[in-house]
Amino acid sequence: MGDTGNGFLWATAVIQALYHRERTGQGQKVSTAIINATLLATSYAYSLADGTPVDRPRIDARQRGLSALHGLYRLAGDDWLSIAVLDEAAWPDLCEALAAPELLADPRFADATARVARDTELRAALEPLFARRDADDVVAAFEKRDLPCELSVDTFGAALFTDPALRALGDVVTATVPGVGTLEQAGVLVSLADNPGRVPGPPCLAGEHTRAILAELGYDAAAAAALVEARSVLAL
């Protein structure tokens, strides 16, 4: 979500800068960050118009991850490590990093298709291998082989929105929403050097501005009320 979403944010920033150049003849520096794309991508829960949930990867019942090769493992010392070993070429590196040549030779996990089919067995085989390694040891082994991993920090979610650097950059902001209270949310996710954006207020509630928009479109109060009564539009 971070890498792909970052491309979307870059495209948005570049288009905005090009539009500014067309209007003024002036170019400017633009920037964003992968963490901004992750903030954006994880801030939405969405469904289709009929209420059907969107098909997307889901974590397992124990909330350990998406699969045996994309999830959390307990280490010695009660630390937790999140891994994302998704490429076929990375499988031998994982076995080597865990000092488990027997896993590489196991016919149950001979290729990606077999590993997906036997995901539960693979996780059961990996768990004791991680449990015998401490954080410094296993992270060093992963980094040496360019295997994606990150130690899990259970305070990250809270600390993210209080991080002074992110707040100074405007990446996260706090707003007060009627009926909800204090809401911390992703802020300005792309930066234009000459035209820095800002978050002017909290996100709007569904139907909050319907009457004002209808008025701008030429509907008088009675016509707007008729649309609301007919449930053609939602208005607060």
Tokens of 101: 């040549």
Same domain, 162 and 51: yes
Q: What is the pLDDT of residue 78?
A: 83
Each of the 236 residues of the chain gets a pLDDT tens digit; together they read 677 778 888 898 899 999 999 999 999 999 888 888 877 776 655 666 677 777 777 788 888 899 999 999 999 988 999 999 989 999 999 999 999 999 999 999 999 999 999 999 999 999 999 999 999 999 999 999 999 999 987 777 677 778 888 888 888 888 888 777 888 877 888 888 888 888 888 888 889 999 999 999 999 999 999 999 999 999 98
CA 69/CA 64 separation, integer angstroms: 11
Phi, psi (degrees; rounded to nearest 5) at 67: -165, 175
Q: What is the pLDDT of residue 174?
A: 86
Q: What is the pLDDT of residue 206?
A: 86
Same domain, 73 and 138: yes
CA 120/CA 112 separation, integer angstroms: 14
**Is 224 in contact with 214 (CB distance < 8 Å)?**
yes
CA 130/CA 146 separation, integer angstroms: 17
Same domain, 131 and 181: no
Of 5, 49, 15, 7, nearest in space to 195 by CA: 15
- Give ∠ CA 109-112-116 in degrees, rounded to 5: 80
Q: What is the pLDDT of residue 184?
A: 81
Q: What is the pLDDT of residue 44?
A: 58
Same domain, 46 and 96: no
CA 179/CA 204 separation, integer angstroms: 12
Give strand pairing partners of 31.
191
Q: How far is CA 65 from the centre of its chain?
A: 14
Q: What is the pLDDT of residue 47?
A: 65
Domain that holds residue 218: 204-236
Q: What is the pLDDT of residue 46?
A: 60
Half-sphere exposure (Cβ direction) of 68: Cα atoms closer than 13 Å: 21
Same domain, 42 and 70: no
Same domain, 74 and 183: no
Report how many domains make up the chain: 3
CA 45/CA 43 separation, integer angstroms: 7
Q: How many angstroms separate the Cα of 103 from the Cα of each of 88, 111, 141, 203?
A: 14, 12, 17, 50
Give strand pairing partners of 13.
none
DSSP character for 111?
A: S
Same domain, 167 and 51: yes
